[in-house]
Chains A and B, each alone.
Chain A
Amino acid sequence: MVCSVEGIGEKMKTSTDMISLFRVTLSRSLFHVSIITITLMILAPLLPTHVLSYMITISIFSIYAIGYDLLFGYTNQTSLGHSLFFGVGAYGFLLSVLHLKTDFWGSLAIGLFLSFILALIIGIISVRLSESYFVIVTAIFSNIFYSYALNATWLTGGSDGLSINVPTIYLGNISFSVYDPVINFYFNTIVLVFVYFLLKRIVDSPLGRVFIALGQNQERLTYLGYNIYRYKLLAFIISGVFTGLSGTLYCIRLRYASAEFFGIIWSILPIIWCLIGGRKTLLGPCIGVIIFTFFQFYISSLWTYYLIFFGLLIIILFRFSPIGIVGYINQRWGRQIHENSRNN
């Protein structure tokens, strides 16, 4: 860790400098993330199964969260329709395993393709609309599909759901099964890291700059000659596909999917994750997932009416903490870094 910040390490004197060390390592999150991931992967066989299962859930939700953050954080579009892509990803996998008898990768591809198609259709309909319309229209879509999924028991199994045997994964000559928790953990972590780096790459590319500009001032972007609808649609589709991926992985992890995957709660959760961790920071939503999944786990076992807590949390977060944990760290200590670099 020290070697990574060697450049400023020589100038460290006070404790505030230690904090800026922390902040710099955070900004070099790629390094940080890889260290944590590698450590976890080495430790994985030693961990008890319930911890592993918890971490698998976290990596799946993190994929959802960072995919959603691209839309919600960077381009500042609030979609309430992402539960749709989550459910479609899960059912795309499940149904193609059940009925088409495809192998693992084929089913995964079908799940992703279905969520891509849906994201494309709903995106074309909704990205041209104004802010309020966008929220309502996406919410209407997910709500109607939810009630359809609840009713169409012949296809989805309703709220009882359907369960499957996940096919063995073949990768070249190697074959492995997700029934082994350690293997499943490795699989999900690798996918998460891959998705994280992919999104990081997108955000840092010129395309990502356009997304950020889109979130800040759409009109100015129009005057600069960009076709904003195309970029909005692109962000919507990317985030929809990653949501579909996370739905597929969740289905693989539970070996089960039910109509509840389409429920409104799955559209609210990513908003809460992004707000806790910090919008516009890919790392933030992951931190939000870790904190909130813990919280949700304990609070839902303690109190039946924990949805009140959901509602309160949304109001409190929007009111008092719109930038989230990573946002606070950046705001509080980010400036000192700038001052340090200016003094040097």
Chain B
Amino acid sequence: MSDILSTMIFLLINGLVIGFIITLVALGLTLIFGVMRIVNMAHGDLYMMGAVISYFVLSFGGNFFISLFTAPILVFAISYLIERFVVRPFEGNPTNTMLVTLGLSFIIQQVTLITYGGVPRVIPEPWTLSFQMFGAQYSGYRLAVAIISATILSGLWSFLHRTTYGTFIRATIQDAEVACATGINTNRIFTFTFALGGTLAALGGVLAAPITQVFYLMGNNVILIAFIIVIVGGLGSFKGTLIIALLLSILEGTLTIFLRPVEVRIISLMVMVLTLLLRPSGLFGRRYR
């Protein structure tokens, strides 16, 4: 009995930790959608890029903390360039933007395949610490992931709510035209937000690298669940994304006891379909037409 209980608790915490990582990815998507009304299909590949950069930093003799700073900075620069030169020409046409970022995702994946190789690699956990919790052995790194992500999330919250630039971003989310009329350079906000979203995904990637395998297609799996989360929570809603990401990850984590991963994914799909049928704008979303 206690065996089952400890397994349950282990999976619960595991779901929570993975939920935090996915929250980072999904929040990036939501942020970009809220400001620019587009969906970045290459988001999962920015996540993958974070993990791959982390691998390269480690193989060149760096450590985890160096990669935690270099990867986001590099991905910030890359997504800045992507917004400026690939996405910007399609402003005002969401579908074309999405397809173009989908094309970009192919390019990023194949370039990674050329430079990094197609073999999944495992990055060692930075600490060998582990905890004894309710009879289950739990790695200290995973708890650190939860703490680091929570710090990043609260940092993002205070950036959006306590700084001038954050206020500009929130103003653009409310109404881009009015924001532009009040003198906010919305173009710069667009580029910055896109890069910020990419950075969040890359941070997720760096944190996830020691937990999962680093693989050039690792983004596909994450972007799928991130899309589902964002739809259930409501595209553009931060609160919804955060809550649903944690809930859904815990649900998926617990269900893996009974079912195979694909079947768990199908259950998440069912949740998404139900939400779309009952509340098309998501559980916490405003109405976007």
Residues of A within 8 A of B (CB): 78, 80, 125-126, 128-133, 135-137, 139-141, 143-144, 147-148, 151-152, 268, 271, 305, 307-308, 310-315, 318-319, 322
B183 at the interface (CB under 8 A from A): no
Instruction: List 17 interface pairs A-B (beta carbons < 8 Å), by A numbering.
Output: A132-B38, A135-B39, A136-B227, A140-B269, A143-B224, A144-B224, A144-B266, A151-B260, A151-B262, A307-B109, A314-B100, A314-B103, A315-B100, A315-B104, A318-B90, A318-B103, A319-B90
Number of interface residues of B (CB under 8 A): 43
> How far, in whole Å, are A135 and B90 apart by their CA atoms in the complex?
16
Report A318 CB to chain B, min CB distance, Å. 5
Chain B interfacial positions (CB closer than 8 Å to A): 33, 37-39, 41, 86, 89-90, 94-96, 98-100, 102-107, 109-111, 113-114, 220, 224, 227-228, 231, 235, 260, 262, 265-266, 269, 272-273, 276-277, 280, 288-289
**Is A311's CB under 8 angstroms from B107's CB?**
yes
> Across the interface, which residues of B come within 8 angstroms of A152, CB to CB?
262
Nearest opposing residue in chain B for A305, CB measure: B110
Task: Take A143-B224, A311-B105 as given contacts and tell me if A78 and B99 are in contact as well, using a CB distance cutoff of 8 Å.
Answer: yes
Chain A contacts for B94, CB-based, 8 A = 131-132
Do B265 and A147 have beta carbons less than 8 Å apart? yes
Looking across the interface, which residue of chain B has its beta carbon closest to that of A271? Answer: B99
Q: Could you tell me if B269 and A144 are in contact, using CB atoms closer than 8 angstroms?
A: yes
B227 touches which one: A129, A131, A139, A318 (CB < 8 A)? A139
Residue of A125, A135, A313 touching B273 (CB-CB under 8 A): A125
CB nearest neighbor in A for B108: A311
CA distance A197 to B266 in the complex (A): 39
Expressed in whole angstroms, the minimum distance between the Cβ of A121 and any Cβ of chain B is 9
A129 near B280 with CB under 8 A, answer yes
**Contacting residues, chain A, for B103 (C-beta < 8 A):** 310-315, 318
**Shortest Cβ gap from B33 to chain A (Å):** 7
Would you give the shortest CB distance from B222 to chain A, in whole angstroms? Answer: 12
Closest CB-CB distance, A22 to chain B, in whole Å? 30
Indicate whether A132 sits within 8 Å of B39 (C-beta atoms), given known contacts A147-B262, A315-B103: yes
Query: Does the CB pair B277–A125 fall under 8 Å?
Result: yes
Please give me the 7 A-B residue pairs with the lowest Cβ-Cβ distance, nearest first: A314-B103, A311-B106, A311-B107, A311-B103, A308-B110, A151-B262, A305-B110
Across-interface contacts of B273 in A (CB, < 8 A): 125
CB pair B288–A130 under 8 Å, yes or no, is: yes
Shortest beta-carbon distance from A212 to chain B in Å: 17
A132-B39, A140-B227, A140-B228 known; A148+B262 contact, CB < 8 A: yes
Q: Could you tell me the distance between the alpha carbons of A311 and B100 in the complex, rounded to whole angstroms?
A: 8
Closest Cβ–Cβ distance, residue B197 to chain A (whole Å): 15
Q: Judging by beta carbons under 8 Å apart, are A131 and B95 in contact?
A: yes
CB-CB nearest in chain A for B272:
A140
Q: Besides A125-B277, A311-B104, 5 other CB < 8 A contacts?
A: A133-B280, A135-B95, A135-B98, A148-B262, A314-B102
CA distance A268 to B98 in the complex (A): 12
